Amino acid sequence: MARFCIAAVVCILLFLLPGCQSSYDSIPADIAACAESAAASLLGMPVIPRDAAQALTDARRESDILPPLYAQSTDTPDVLHSIPCAHAEKKTTYYLPLDMQNGAWDGIALSASSSAVFVVTDDPLPEKTELLKSGSSLTLLFCGEQFYSEASLICTGLPVLQIDLINANTGRISGSTDIARSPASAMRFSYYDPSDPITDTIASAKSFGSIRTRGGTSAKYDKHSFKFSLYDDLSCTDQNNLALCGLRLDDDWILNAMYQEETKVRDMLAYDLWEDIGADRYGDGTVLGTRMRYVEVILSGKYWGLYGLCEPEDAKQFGISAERTGCVYKVGSWVVPTVKELRNAIIADHAQVAEVEVKYPEVVAETARDAWKPFLDYVEITYESSDFTFTQQIDGIMDEDNLADMWIFLNVIAGRDNRWKNLYLTYRADHEKLVMAPWDCDISFGLNWGDGDHDSLHLYHEPYAFYEIQTMPIFDRYLELNVNDFRKTLADRWNELRGDWLTVEEILARADTFRSRIEDSGALKRNRRKWPHSGDAADLSYIEEFVTFRIPHLDAYIASLDDMP
């Protein structure tokens, strides 16, 4: 009997929640009676069989207009969180993120303006973990005084980002999913996180912004990566800083499509390992690199799949500002510019040479020399100097501890696409030396780029990656010349990490955690349905095989440094 009473009370509360008052004075008798007869409730909604739902719909006219659906939690009872939804499906579908770490139903109640909301099913109610992992939907029935409408509810364990493109001419939602590299498209943005790391409860936010396609080869595929910026209004003049998914408070963000990569884990695992290997090089809380979090995206009313939300690697990320001066360089190809080319760039006030770009500061006549000088010094000493000059001067240019961390990182992940290309180099005046940070680490843990003969995604399993020592000229010269006893510096750092946490078991445990997150949330299944031609692996067996071989192989290589001439 208690269950019946709870259901009835919940149903009445649906009409009394702040901001959700009914447009009529009393609850229709048949709705109240149906709620009172419900044997259970789920997420604050009475659960009724299909025959009871039929009786309610027979007494009303169907409407294709659905009210906004809101969530309230016992942790934040005075706050209404708007639930993201996708319209362009057989039935409008709401996406409710739930905390996967909590097996209970989180104390969340759903409600709608001017409507009672029921869950309709003749089946036993699923367990929360079962419902999340299966990706199955629940049928919702919205009942007002004269009208009813139906929708689906999908529960996910990941945060959801909803992006609606705005027509630049009319200022209205366009419904288009076409996003170009340039110019950026105006958008309306909303965000819902079921377990925000900062507030430890539900977090949601709305904003305006702009969004554009980004990436090189990845931009050729159907599912694109994006960069978006947040603003207070459509004029796009005042930045709107949000701390999404517990990451940095900012207005600029990256969405990584992870289309080619088969496990959807490699980028996440690589960034996570770098965070513990070398991201805290400055020791002031600055992240030398990026961090990534899994999210699901709804684009212009269409479910758009699983993405990795990343912090941009920019001056702010590296702790550079007007008060703490410095430079940021992005390397976008394998070509290394010559000293002559760099000097010409300074004379011509150019910000880019051979796909090496000065991302900060702005390169103008007054700043060109200072902006390029740390990078020019690096190229001149590393690529165009004698062994004697290199040995005498490189220590004043490069951070050797960062080099050791980068060597270890690139070799643990076998980052074949990060050995110059896909690196950021950063100089901070207070640190006085260049440091490196990785970017775009999907070609890792045994993958390699093909020439198109392997498959349509140009990726294949590379057996040689199991053995190959990842290197680049700066590493080669340090090790061959043993500058400042760098071999010992590298070996000591390797042994320190190996004795602490860098083990086969720990790496594989992290990989399994990330894979479980996208499987148990149901997101991987939804992404497969949306993008059936995306890279897809049934499990992590290839990464497991790679790591199990790779770490002992690197142990042997580090031990062999003592025998180098």
Residues 112 and 38 in one domain: yes
How far is 153 from 420, CA to CA, in rounded Å? 46
Neighbours of 250 (CB within 10 A): 19
Q: pLDDT-derived band of residue 249, with 50, 70 and 90 as boundaries? A: very high
Per DSSP, what are the bridge partners of residue 428? 326
Q: pLDDT-derived band of residue 195, with 50, 70 and 90 as boundaries? A: confident
Residues 424 and 330 in one domain: yes
Q: Quote the mean pLDDT of the chain.
A: 91
Among 1-5, 231-235, 388-392, 545-549, the least confident range: 1-5
- Among 258, 278, 310, the domain boundary falls at 310
When pLDDT is averaged across residues 414-431 and rounded to a whole number, the result is: 96
- Is residue 486 assigned to a domain? yes
Residues 278 and 335 in one domain: no
Structure tokens belonging to residue 171: 């200022």
6 compared with 551, residue with greater pLDDT: 551
- Is residue 321 assigned to a domain? no
- Is residue 58 assigned to a domain? yes
Residues 105 and 167 in one domain: no
Residue type, 183: P
pLDDT tens, position by position, 268-283: 999 999 999 999 999 9
Pairing of strands 108-112, 203-214: unpaired
Q: Could you give phi then psi for residue 208, rounded to 5 degrees?
A: -100, 170
Is residue 378 a contact partner of residue 386, using CB atoms and an 8 Å limit? Answer: no
- Is residue 320 assigned to a domain? no
Is residue 264 a contact partner of residue 293, using CB atoms and an 8 Å limit? Answer: no
Residues 288 and 351 in one domain: no
How far is 461 from 449, CA to CA, in rounded Å? 9
Stated length of the chain: 565
Residues 401 and 439 in one domain: yes
Q: Is the pLDDT of residue 17 over 80?
A: no
Cα torsion angle, 15, 17, 23, 26, sign: positive
Q: pLDDT-derived band of residue 386, with 50, 70 and 90 as boundaries? A: very high
How far is 33 from 29, CA to CA, in rounded Å? 6
For every residue of 515-551, which 3-state class applies, written as one string?
A: HHHHHHCCHHHHHHHHCCCCCCCCCCHHHHHHHHHHH
pLDDT tens, position by position, 41-68: 999 999 999 999 999 999 999 998 888 9
Structure tokens belonging to residue 463: 């057996």
How far is 400 from 410, CA to CA, in rounded Å? 15
How far is 62 from 64, CA to CA, in rounded Å? 7
Neighbours of 297 (CB within 10 A): 22
Nearest CA-CA partner of 245 in 254, 237, 236: 254
- Among 262, 285, 310, the domain boundary falls at 310
Rg (CA), the chain: 27
Distances (CA, A) of 154 to 89, 158, 293, 440: 13, 12, 20, 31
Give residue 76's pLDDT.
80
- Counting the structural domains of the chain, the total is 3
For the chain, the maximum distance between any two Cα atoms, rounded to a whole number of angstroms, is 92
Give residue 9's pLDDT.
33
Exposed, middle or buried: residue 64 (CB in 10 Å: 0-12, 13-18, 19+)? exposed
- Which domain does 350 fall in, by range? 326-563
Give residue 102's pLDDT.
83
Residues 12 and 34 in one domain: yes
When pLDDT is averaged across residues 302-329 and rounded to a whole number, the result is: 96
381 compared with 454, residue with greater pLDDT: 381
Residues 417 and 521 in one domain: yes
Residues 496 and 516 in one domain: yes
Structure tokens belonging to residue 15: 């009409």
Give residue 25's pLDDT.
42
- Among 107, 129, 155, the domain boundary falls at 155
- Is residue 447 assigned to a domain? yes
Residues 287 and 339 in one domain: no
Q: Which residues contact 34 (CB under 8 A, 6 or more apart)?
A: 46, 48, 52, 55, 56, 118
Give residue 341's pLDDT.
97
How far is 51 from 57, CA to CA, in rounded Å? 10
Residues 528 and 483 in one domain: yes
- Is residue 315 assigned to a domain? no
Q: pLDDT-derived band of residue 87, with 50, 70 and 90 as boundaries? A: confident
- Is residue 254 assigned to a domain? yes
Residues 362 and 510 in one domain: yes
Give residue 342's pLDDT.
97
Give residue 455's pLDDT.
61
Residue type, 505: E
When pLDDT is averaged across residues 506-521 and rounded to a whole number, the result is: 98
- Is residue 316 assigned to a domain? no
When pLDDT is averaged across residues 183-210 and rounded to a whole number, the result is: 91
* Three-state secondary-structure class, residue 211: strand
